[in-house]
Amino acid sequence: MSERSIAEKQPMTDLERLRHSSAHVMATAILRLWPEAQFAAGPPVENGFYYDLQLDHRITTEDFPRIETEMKKVVAEDQLFERIPVSREQAFKLAEAGALGSLGPRNAPSKFKLDILQGIPAGEEITLYRNGDFTDLCAGPHIARTGGIGAFKLTGIASAYYKGNEKNPQLQRLYGTAFKSKAELDDYFVRLEEARKRDHRKLGRELGLFHIDEEVGAGLVLWTPKGAILRRELQGFISEELRKQGYTEVFTPHVAKLGLFRTSGHYPYYRESQFPPLIEPDSLRRLADEGCSCAALSNLLQEGEVDGFLLKPMNCPMHIKIYDSAQHSYRDLPIRLSEFGTVYRWEQSGELGGMTRVRGFTQDDGHIFCTEEQLAEELFRALDLGQRVLRALGLNDFRARLGLRDPDSAKYVGAAEQWGKAEDALRRAAEKVDLTFAEERGEAAFYGPKMDFVVKDVIGREWQLGTVQVDYNLPERFDLNYIASDNSPKRPIMIHRAPLGSLERLCGVLIEHFAGSFPVWLAPEQVRVLPISDKHLEYARKIEQLLAGAGVRTTVAASSDKIGAKIRLAQLEKVPYMLVLGAREEQAGEVAVRSRSHGDEGAVSAHEFVERVQKEIREKKID
């Protein structure tokens, strides 16, 4: 564990300390089995710990029992964790001798420890930690003795690049988790199991919300009828909010000429993350006749000597063209264009998953063209909208992240002065809407800084949903202008914003958030009418008609199942309301209400129930 010693920010919690010590115990165990293992970094992480190591033997899950057995021995030996401050020279000497991250001197130096040592600034204290024969370069802290580790388990093996850099060697990353007691460990796995039950990939299939088909392509989502209802409701919700905020809706095509994206800078700069260009049939034939190689074609495309079309990776260039299709007076600004725009990005195969990381997705996109003076107000409104829609959907547990550029990276465009202005404008707007945010370097868009709204999925992975981005750059590239009050042309500023981000990702997150039990307004099926027997089918149809007429999505369970089975099915399908109808209800003109979450609620008049459901839908009630 050494990365952390360099970047140590907050003191470790007791649990982190225990897990960090578990990483050392795991390393000790591994060295007893494979003395030649080279260790890199082994920090505690959110749900446990890991240690990165290099070893010719590929560790698999079959090795876990052996490693765990060895770890148990180390815990049983109740070794003391000893903190040893050393001089730089001593540390280097030990690393050279292979004695760091090891059980003693070896014939090969502890190369990663050596590298880490070199990164420790002069003057900073260097400490070792020793438990039993195992000595490691480590800033600590640790628990007192190995016996303090109550319960642990290895949870996975993965690969990771040394220091997270693709250019560095790949190491084996062995994950584990540890707790003070066996009960807490067991509880953790129970919770994990619960979380997996709400995984949107599982629920999406069970509830018939979406389908991803191998033959259609990885990362390309098919929205089934039920999923389409969910999506349409979300789109309707956003459309209404945007209309209130003075947006106008536009439509644009899914492909455009490559030249458009050259002007915007998306091509060839980000071509690795785009579907490859489409080439006109005539050009393609001519090039083929000339015996043009793929490599040559790629170059010709890059240099702009052959034109083609691109599946759009972003909507902004097209919205810009709409803005630029007419002359604008300062009196017209701000102009706010919105579109549910579907974009296509070539995500790496290993990154695809469910609805949260896909290759084609629809953004609730929008672009605001405004003056310098209007920027603050427009940012304020965009951030306010972003927060409000997430809260309306019950996603209260989000965090905001201000993405700043990394001054050392070349991937950003535009003048430093404009970046500074844009960053300040975002900060001020965030303060005004009372949004707490964390600033992160290297998280900006290539054209400007952005404020992202980030949520977590059931297994703790973070996903960016909404975003608000300031852009001085694209207006420049497309030479946009408006006529100012002094009759001179002036450059507008652009704001890119998508309060929900991608509808696919949002739906994935929402499925997990609600565990499939959507609030009534979002539920694909809002009410299921359950006649006790065929005798009451006619009355059931009447109630269905009543509800359908009132705009409530309703079906009738007309099967010959017993009522218990009908209820069970409706519960499993997470329909918010069930209406049980038998002779009693039919005679009284009532419906016996059963809610998904509260069970039998007794009979009310059909009319009363309709009003109740309508109210919940209208108010977007979350139960």
Partner RNA sequence: GCCGGUGUAGCUCAGUGGUAGAGCAGCGCAUUCGUAAUGCGCGGGUCGUCGGUUCAAACCCGACCACCGGCUCCA
Q: Show contacts with RNA in window 246-305 (CB under 7 A).
A: 266, 270, 273-274
Interface characters, 1-40, with RNA (x: CB under 7 A): ----------------------------------------
Of residues 157, 278, 376, 483, which one binds RNA by CB under 7 A?
A: 157
Of residues 584, 607, 615, 621, which one binds RNA by CB under 7 A?
A: 584
Active site residue 370: no
Separation between Cα atoms, residue 361 and residue 112, nearest integer Å: 41
Q: Which amino acid is at 371?
A: T
Which residue lies nearer to RNA by CB, 143 or 337? 337
Of residues 60, 118, 325, 436, which one binds RNA by CB under 7 A?
A: 60
Strands 248-249 and 335-344: parallel
CB of 605 to RNA, least distance (A): 14
Interface characters, 585-604, with RNA (x: CB under 7 A): x------x-x----xx--x-
Token digits of residue 248:
């106008």
Active site residue 496: yes
What letter does residue 271 receive in the DSSP assignment? G
353 binds RNA (CB under 7 A): yes
Active site residue 316: yes
CB of 214 to RNA, least distance (A): 5
Of residues 280, 351, 538, 611, which one binds RNA by CB under 7 A?
A: 351
Of residues 583, 607, 615, 619, which one binds RNA by CB under 7 A?
A: 583
The residues in 67-106 that bind RNA, with binding defined as CB under 7 A, are: none
CB of 539 to RNA, least distance (A): 10
Active site residue 621: no
Active site residue 226: no
Which residue lies nearer to RNA by CB, 157 or 376? 157
In the set 24, 136, 198, 316, the catalytic residue is 316
518 binds RNA (CB under 7 A): no
The three-class DSSP label of residue 294 is helix
Sign of the Cα pseudo-torsion (567, 573, 577, 579, in order): negative
Of residues 35, 119, 156, 589, which one binds RNA by CB under 7 A?
A: 156
Distances in Å between the Cα of 419 and the Cα atoms of 150, 167, 197, 263, 474 are 51, 30, 44, 20, 13
Sign of the Cα pseudo-torsion (241, 614, 209, 575, in order): positive
In the set 19, 153, 319, 345, the catalytic residue is 345
- Site for RNA (CB under 7 A): how many residues? 75
Which residue lies nearer to RNA by CB, 100 or 314? 314
In the set 17, 32, 113, 496, the catalytic residue is 496
The three-class DSSP label of residue 186 is helix
Q: Could you tell me which stretch among 17-25, 58-66, 374-382, 482-490 binds RNA (CB under 7 A)? A: 58-66
CB of 319 to RNA, least distance (A): 13
Of residues 77, 241, 307, 347, which one binds RNA by CB under 7 A?
A: 347
In the set 367, 566, 594, 596, the catalytic residue is 367
Q: Could you tell me which stretch among 27-35, 140-148, 201-209, 423-431 binds RNA (CB under 7 A)? A: 201-209
How many residues in the chain? 623
The residues in 354-383 that bind RNA, with binding defined as CB under 7 A, are: 354, 357
Interface characters, 210-249, with RNA (x: CB under 7 A): --x-x--xxx------------------------------
Separation between Cα atoms, residue 519 and residue 526, nearest integer Å: 9
431 binds RNA (CB under 7 A): no
DSSP state string for 352-372: -BTTTB-SEEEEEEEEEEE-G
Which residue lies nearer to RNA by CB, 75 or 379? 379
Cβ partners under 8 Å of residue 482, min gap 6? 328, 329, 330, 332, 333, 369, 371, 489, 490, 492
In the set 274, 363, 418, 464, the catalytic residue is 363
For residues 617 and 552, the answer to whether their CB atoms sit within 8 Å is: yes
The residues in 455-474 that bind RNA, with binding defined as CB under 7 A, are: 459-461, 469
Distances in Å between the Cα of 442 and the Cα atoms of 270, 419, 454 are 16, 13, 16
Cβ partners under 8 Å of residue 173, min gap 6? 50, 51, 52, 157, 158, 159, 160
Separation between Cα atoms, residue 188 and residue 602, nearest integer Å: 39
Q: Could you tell me which stretch among 246-254, 295-303, 453-461, 477-485 binds RNA (CB under 7 A)? A: 453-461
CB of 121 to RNA, least distance (A): 22
Helix, strand, coil in percent for the chain, rounding step 5: 40, 25, 35
Provide the phi-psi class of 417: left if phi over 0, else alpha when psi is between -120 and 50, else beta. alpha
For residues 292 and 300, the answer to whether their CB atoms sit within 8 Å is: yes
Which residue lies nearer to RNA by CB, 133 or 561? 561
Separation between Cα atoms, residue 484 and residue 478, nearest integer Å: 18
Which residue lies nearer to RNA by CB, 233 or 544? 544
Distances in Å between the Cα of 77 and the Cα atoms of 82, 131, 177, 501 are 15, 10, 20, 53
Name the strand (E) or helix (H) holding 437.
strand 437-441
55 closest CA partner among 24, 105, 119, 101:
101
Interface characters, 469-508, with RNA (x: CB under 7 A): x---------------------------------------
The residues in 550-569 that bind RNA, with binding defined as CB under 7 A, are: 560-565, 567-568
Phi, psi at 157, each rounded to 5°:
-130, 135
The catalytic residue positions are 316, 345, 363, 365, 367, 450, 496
